A and B are shown apart, each in its own frame.
Chain A
Amino acid sequence: DAGITQSPRHKVTETGTPVTLRCHQTENHRYMYWYRQDPGHGLRLIHYSYGVKDTDKGEVSDGYSVSRSKTEDFLLTLESATSSQTSVYFCAISEARGTDTQYFGPGTRLTVL
């Protein structure tokens, strides 16, 4: 299995509070991604990174920001959590973009009350 960890694995928070999710990889892959997964939807891309300090928006980026200060770490921040952001969040990594297999972390289950 690819070396990807996510923390926390579970979190319950209240509307309006900031939340930061962390993804850590040991594979030295260039590309890192944050997805959310909701019932009835496929995985949807929130943001991705193509290098240290290089990030871009995905399909559902509103309300989320990201940062990547080191190759191995990719942080996802909800500045002011809302109930619509209750979801399962997956981090993924790949060596190339668009053609290469993506490997997923174990996921973070976030509940916003």
Chain B
Amino acid sequence: RKEVEQDPGPFNVPEGATVAFNCTYSNSASQSFFWYRQDCRKEPKLLMSVYSSGNEDGRFTAQLNRASQYISLLIRDSKLSDSATYLCVGNYGQNFVFGPGTRLSVLP
């Protein structure tokens, strides 16, 4: 089993839609989680950290469910500029493990 798994993409949604991504992790000892965003042929950039209590940053909400070992990312009121690949990241020991990413296309 892969250490970090993500929803297969691509997700094609209309502008203004709400879209949710899930990510599962296998290492119950993982403590740190992040969502990164990666545009085509660019480097990954931090979108947000994921805290146990959940956190929100504008239109983006991240949740962590330790009991079920999954992380979610909710994007409300999708914009064309949200089109990208979203990478789920968890730590495994002192290294980060990246999921393969979920591609989102927001359509006009």
- Interface, chain A (partner B; CB < 8 A): 35, 40-45, 48, 58-59, 90, 97-99, 101-107
A99 close to B31 (CB less than 8 A): yes
Segment at the A interface, from B14-22, B57-65, B94-102: B94-102
Chain B contacts for A97, CB-based, 8 A:
94-95
Chain B contacts for A107, CB-based, 8 A:
41-43
B100 close to A101 (CB less than 8 A): no
* Other A-B pairs beyond A44-B98, A98-B96, A106-B42, 5, CB < 8 Å: A43-B87, A43-B98, A59-B95, A106-B43, A107-B42
Nearest residue in B to A90 (C-beta to C-beta)? Answer: B43
The CA of A42 and the CA of B23, in the complex, are separated in Å by 13
A101 close to B49 (CB less than 8 A): yes
The CA of A105 and the CA of B44, in the complex, are separated in Å by 9
A101 close to B99 (CB less than 8 A): no
B43 close to A98 (CB less than 8 A): no
Q: Give per-residue flags for B36-62: 1 if the beta carbon is below 8 A from chain A beta carbons, else 0.
A: 000001111110010000000000000
B46 close to A101 (CB less than 8 A): yes
The dominant DSSP class at the A interface is loop
Chain B contacts for A48, CB-based, 8 A:
95
The CA of A45 and the CA of B93, in the complex, are separated in Å by 13
Chain A contacts for B94, CB-based, 8 A:
97-98
Asked if B91 is an interface residue, CB under 8 A from chain A, the answer is yes
